[in-house]
């Protein structure tokens, strides 16, 4: 909780400003929409976070979102496959992509940046080729399958706020990943690998397996997220679906407290980071700023937030050092 | 003071001279292309190779491709169709590559005609240039094939005016950089508000316009990110709970409006004036939740482009009207003609796909 304090303060400040200066921020409809978008982007950001903790980076998240997202209606609608076959197949394909990245990075010793950059191009290219650049959608069918992302649940005492179904997988993932880092030896080993891979390896930690596993989790979550996104939107064009989503995922993870140097995990912070980005995007419209300013506002606010967080951390570290020196 | 005035006069003269030189160069390039066509009249090409370049990747362009391929098959010429997925730089690269391949003529929908003049000049210099869908009036193009986007926008605005007698209106569009998007949006605003026809008028996208019982609360772009496009509609619904009508001026904007209104229980309560022929929009017209949609004829853009370029390589310039614009008008599709339109489109797409597979 202490590690997330900076990002939570930034999140609360943006929410307060938007609620004061914007219209309809606290309506049930808006909060439902924000919860849905936060859940979708958080799933991608959790995957990005696991790779960042391991000291890596994955630039292919957006393209995996695209490939998995496009493949889902393509197989269901165009090829008439059953949802029971399509969902496991798409998830297995996404995990295989992660395994492929992990093997190239740990066995062939290729740089993660380059491997995943090539993946970014490769998977989008495959999606475009496979579908002949045609938009893929559900054409008004498969309402039952789409309810995985579209279902909403009434919540007592919260008026017209309705809890989106996507929160369920998000909570499960947060708990699982949180327990993995805090309660398992494998989680500790992954943190150690991220902090200093050589030291961890010489200490007997199976760093190659752990790093590969991190990439598998990241691609699997990107593929799962891609499926949820397409269930939510209904149709997508392979040339632009998921473009730049890796940057939103990485930004949310870093904002949430995962250092790009590796070895720092903060699962709750990642979700708050993703929520901050989504609230900022919504604030642009609700406050009535021009949509042309969107990137400038997001970039500016995040920069101020990150700088303030870093300064507070340094101040706290200095104070802690002074206190310990005085005690000795 | 005199020195400043002299400097300013000199600068004005220099700019004027440069503009005249520029105009002359454009005129020269048009004349050079016409001379090449005259040369083709003496030595017609047995089998020409022409190219059709879109301004992006969309289902709309798939229909245009079907038209281009069908014309190629019918006329016995080779057709290359390119869809730039990466914006302006991608389109430039594709045009340069086509020139290197030695195509006889190119029909292109320029993404940013003002800032693409060099590459369009290059195409005119080495091949034969026509534009489709979105014009580049300052480029040395021989003809523009397409509709007037201002008029099409007006049709959409008038459709909205007829179905919605006032209230708050929001406009959603992919991007506003290209000529056709700007003209379409302005046409919609003028048609909705019952203004006189003036394609040179321009209302700022961020400005709220209150006129004739309507309040246009704004225009929102999404740079082709559909998740963002969907979020835009939801957020505008939050900010403006009394919204009476929305228009999506790119195909997916209307499709997503149908999707969002269905999900939020607002279908039929907030009206939609659509643009282009998204499957959900067509279904929405049948269900009565979309007032109607203005459709272009992308098949015609592809078909007529290939037909015209192929005619050029036989020395035939007769297809080009005196004003250099071949109009392919837009149509309004409503409940009474939606089924006939859909059946016709499906048949054309099927024919185009067959032509493409045989090519």
Instruction: Report yes or no on A136 lying in a domain.
Output: yes
Instruction: Report yes or no on A103 lying in a domain.
Output: yes
Closest alpha carbon within chain A to B353: A132
Of B226, B237, B263, the CB nearest to A150: B263
CATH code (residue A294): 1.10.3470
Q: CB–CB of A285 and B241 under 8 A?
A: no
pLDDT < 50: residue spans in chain A: none
**Residue pointed to by tokens 């992509």:** A97
How far apart (Å, rounded) are the C-alpha atoms in residues A136 and A138?
7
Of B231, B237, B255, the CB nearest to A235: B255
Domain with A145, as residue range(s), is 5-316
Closest alpha carbon within chain B to A278: B231
**Band (B12; pLDDT cuts 50, 70, 90):** very low
Q: CB–CB of A238 and B241 under 8 A?
A: no
In the prediction, which pLDDT does A298 show?
82
Who wins on pLDDT, A262 or B162? B162
Of B225, B239, B264, the CB nearest to A285: B239
Closest alpha carbon within chain B to A282: B235
In the prediction, which pLDDT does B4 show?
52
**Band (B112; pLDDT cuts 50, 70, 90):** confident
Closest alpha carbon within chain B to A18: B239
Q: CB–CB of A139 and B225 under 8 A?
A: no
Tokens of A187: 């989680």
Instruction: Report yes or no on A286 lying in a domain.
Output: yes
Closest alpha carbon within chain A to B260: A233
pLDDT in tens, B204-213: 888 899 999 9
3-state SS, one letter per residue, for chain A: CCCCHHHHHHHHHHHHHHHHHCCCCCCHHHHHHHHHHHHHHHHHHHHHHHHHHCCCCCCCHHHHHHHHHHHHHHHHHHCCCCHHHHHHHHHHHHHHHHHHHHHHHHCCCCCHHHHHHHHHHHHHHHHHHHHCCCCEECCCCCHHHHHHHHCEEECCCCCCCEEECCHHHHHHHHHHHHHHHHHCHHHHHHHHHHHCHHHHHHCCCCHHHHHHHHHHHHHHHHHHHHHHHHHHHCEECCCCCCCCHHHHHHHHHHHCCCCCCCCCCCHHHHHHHHHHHHHHHHHHHHHCCCHHHHHHHHHHHHHHHHHHHHHHHHHHHHHHHHHHHHHC
Who wins on pLDDT, A39 or B175? A39
> Partners of B243 in the beta sheet?
B168
Cβ of residue B54 closer than 8 Å to a chain A Cβ: no
Residue ranges of chain A whose CB lies within 8 Å of a chain B CB: 22-25, 27, 29-30, 33, 37, 40, 128, 132-135, 137, 139-140, 150, 229, 232-241, 243-244, 281-282, 285-286, 288, 290-292
Cβ of residue B83 closer than 8 Å to a chain A Cβ: yes
Q: How many CB pairs under 8 A join A and B?
A: 104
Q: What is the mean pLDDT of chain B?
A: 88
Tokens of B191: 């048609």
Q: How far is A205 from chain B (nearest CA, A)?
A: 41
Q: What are the residues whose beta carbons fall under 8 Å from the beta carbon of B298, sequence distance 6 or more?
A: B60, B61, B63, B64, B67, B133
Number of structural domains found in chain A: 1
In the prediction, which pLDDT does B19 show?
42
Cβ of residue B241 closer than 8 Å to a chain A Cβ: yes
How far apart (Å, rounded) are the C-alpha atoms in residues B347 and B331?
18
Can you give the residue ranges of every domain in chain B? Answer: 2-147+298-329+341-358, 149-295
In the prediction, which pLDDT does B358 show?
63
Closest alpha carbon within chain A to B177: A292
In the prediction, which pLDDT does B18 show?
41
In the prediction, which pLDDT does B238 show?
94
| Residue-wise burial string across B95-108, b where 16 or more C-beta atoms lie within 10 A, e elsewhere | beebbeeebbbbbb
Query: The pTM is what?
Result: 0.80
Of B205, B228, B238, the CB nearest to A30: B238
Tokens of A120: 């970014």
The widest CA-to-CA distance across chain A, in whole angstroms, is: 73
**Residue pointed to by tokens 């496991």:** A88
In the prediction, which pLDDT does B109 show?
94
Instruction: Report yes or no on A327 lying in a domain.
Output: no
Instruction: Report yes or no on A153 lying in a domain.
Output: yes
Cβ of residue B190 closer than 8 Å to a chain A Cβ: no
Instruction: Report yes or no on A326 lying in a domain.
Output: no
In the prediction, which pLDDT does B273 show?
96
Q: Which CATH number fits domain B2-147+298-329+341-358: 2.60.40.2310, 3.30.70.1290, 3.40.50.10490, 3.40.50.2300?
A: 3.40.50.2300
In the prediction, which pLDDT does B224 show?
84
**Residue pointed to by tokens 């219209």:** A23
DSSP state of B115: G
Who wins on pLDDT, B302 or A260? B302
In the prediction, which pLDDT does B24 show?
45
Range B312-329 average pLDDT: 92
- For B90, phi then psi, to 5°, come to -65, -40
Closest alpha carbon within chain A to B56: A239
Tokens of B319: 């297809």
Q: CB–CB of B226 and A150 under 8 A?
A: no
Helices (H), chain B: 2-42, 59-75, 88-101, 117-126, 149-163, 179-192, 226-239, 251-263, 279-287, 298-312, 338-358
In the prediction, which pLDDT does B344 show?
87
ipTM higher than the 0.90 cut: no
Closest alpha carbon within chain B to A140: B280
The yes-or-no verdict on residue B13 having pLDDT over 60 is no
pLDDT in tens, B326-343: 999 899 999 999 999 999
Q: What are the residues whose beta carbons fall under 8 Å from the beta carbon of B284, sequence distance 6 or more?
A: B258, B267, B272, B274, B290
Cβ of residue B237 closer than 8 Å to a chain A Cβ: yes
Who wins on pLDDT, B338 or B353? B338
Q: CB–CB of A128 and B221 under 8 A?
A: no
Task: Return the CATH class of domain B149-295.
Answer: alpha beta
pLDDT in tens, B225-282: 889 999 999 999 999 999 999 999 998 999 999 999 998 999 989 999 999 988 889 9
Q: CB–CB of B241 and A24 under 8 A?
A: yes
Contacts of A239 in chain B (CB under 8 A): 56-57, 83, 85
Cβ of residue B62 closer than 8 Å to a chain A Cβ: yes
List B residues 315-354 in contact with A (Cβ-Cβ < 8 A): none
**Residue pointed to by tokens 């989790």:** A217
The yes-or-no verdict on residue B101 having pLDDT over 90 is no
Instruction: Report yes or no on A321 lying in a domain.
Output: no
In the prediction, which pLDDT does B20 show?
40
In the prediction, which pLDDT does A242 show?
93
């Amino acid at each position: 909780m202490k590690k997330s304090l900076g990002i939570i303060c930034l999140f609360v400040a943006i929410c307060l400003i938007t609620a004061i200066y914007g219209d309809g921020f606290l309506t049930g409809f808006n909060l439902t929409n924000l919860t849905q978008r936060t859940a979708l982007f958080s799933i991608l950001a959790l995957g990005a976070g696991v790779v960042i903790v391991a000291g890596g980076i994955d630039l292919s998240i957006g393209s995996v979102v695209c490939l998995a997202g496009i493949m889902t209606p393509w197989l269901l609608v165009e090829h008439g496959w059953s949802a029971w076959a399509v969902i496991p197949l798409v998830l297995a394909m996404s995990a295989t992509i992660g395994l492929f990245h992990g093997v190239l990075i740990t066995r062939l010793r290729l740089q993660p940046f380059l491997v995943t950059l090539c993946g970014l191009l490769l998977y989008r290219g495959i999606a475009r080729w496979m579908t002949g650049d045609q938009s893929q959608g559900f054409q008004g069918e498969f309402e039952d399958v789409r309810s995985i992302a579209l279902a909403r649940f009434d919540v007592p005492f919260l008026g017209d706020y309705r809890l989106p179904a996507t929160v369920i997988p998000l909570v499960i993932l947060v708990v699982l990943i949180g327990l993995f880092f805090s309660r398992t030896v494998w989680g500790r080993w992954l943190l150690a690998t991220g902090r200093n891979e050589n030291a961890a390896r010489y200490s007997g930690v199976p760093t190659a397996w752990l790093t590969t596993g991190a990439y598998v989790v990241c691609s699997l979550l990107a593929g799962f997220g891609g499926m949820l996104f397409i269930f939510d939107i209904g149709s997508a064009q392979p040339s632009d679906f998921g473009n730049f989503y890796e940057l939103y995922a990485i930004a949310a993870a870093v904002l949430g407290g995962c250092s790009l140097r590796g070895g720092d995990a903060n699962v709750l912070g990642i979700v708050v980071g993703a929520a901050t980005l989504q609230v900022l995007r919504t604030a642009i419209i609700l406050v009535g700023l021009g949509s042309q300013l969107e990137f400038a506002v997001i970039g500016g606010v995040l920069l101020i937030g990150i700088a303030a967080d870093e300064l507070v951390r340094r101040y706290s570290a200095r104070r802690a050092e002074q206190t310990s020196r005085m005690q000795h | 003071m005199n020195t400043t005035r002299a400097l300013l006069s000199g600068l004005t003269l220099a700019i004027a001279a440069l503009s005249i030189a520029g105009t002359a160069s454009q005129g020269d390039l048009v004349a050079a292309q016409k001379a090449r066509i005259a040369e083709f009249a003496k030595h017609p090409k047995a089998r020409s190779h022409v190219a059709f370049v879109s301004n992006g990747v969309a289902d709309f362009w798939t229909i245009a491709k079907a038209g281009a391929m069908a014309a190629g098959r019918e006329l016995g010429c080779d057709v290359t169709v390119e869809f730039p997925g990466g914006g302006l730089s991608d389109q430039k690269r594709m045009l340069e590559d086509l020139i290197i391949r030695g195509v006889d003529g190119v029909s292109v929908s320029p993404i940013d005609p003002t800032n693409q003049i060099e590459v369009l000049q290059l195409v005119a210099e080495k091949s034969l240039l026509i534009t489709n869908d979105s014009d580049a009036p300052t480029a040395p193009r021989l003809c523009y094939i397409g509709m007037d986007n201002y008029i099409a926008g007006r049709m959409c605005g008038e459709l909205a005016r007829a179905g919605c007698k006032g209230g708050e209106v929001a406009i959603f569009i992919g991007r506003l950089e290209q000529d056709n998007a700007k003209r379409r949006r302005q046409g919609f605003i003028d048609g909705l508000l019952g203004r006189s026809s003036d394609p040179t008028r321009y209302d700022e996208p961020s400005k709220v316009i209150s006129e004739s019982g309507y309040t246009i609360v704004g225009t929102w772009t999404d740079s082709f990110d559909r998740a963002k496009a969907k979020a835009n509609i939801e957020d505008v619904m939050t900010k403006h709970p009394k919204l009476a009508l929305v228009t999506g001026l790119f195909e997916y904007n209307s499709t997503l409006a149908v999707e969002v209104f269905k999900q939020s229980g607002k279908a039929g309560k907030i009206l939609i004036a659509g643009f282009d022929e998204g499957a959900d929009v067509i279904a929405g017209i049948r269900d009565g939740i979309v007032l109607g949609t203005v459709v272009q004829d992308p098949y015609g853009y592809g078909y007529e482009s290939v037909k015209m370029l192929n005619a050029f390589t036989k020395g035939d310039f007769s297809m080009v009207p005196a004003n250099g614009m071949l109009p392919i008008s837009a149509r309004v599709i409503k409940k009474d003609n939606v089924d006939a339109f859909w059946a016709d489109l499906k048949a054309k797409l099927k024919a185009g796909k067959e032509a493409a597979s045989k090519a």
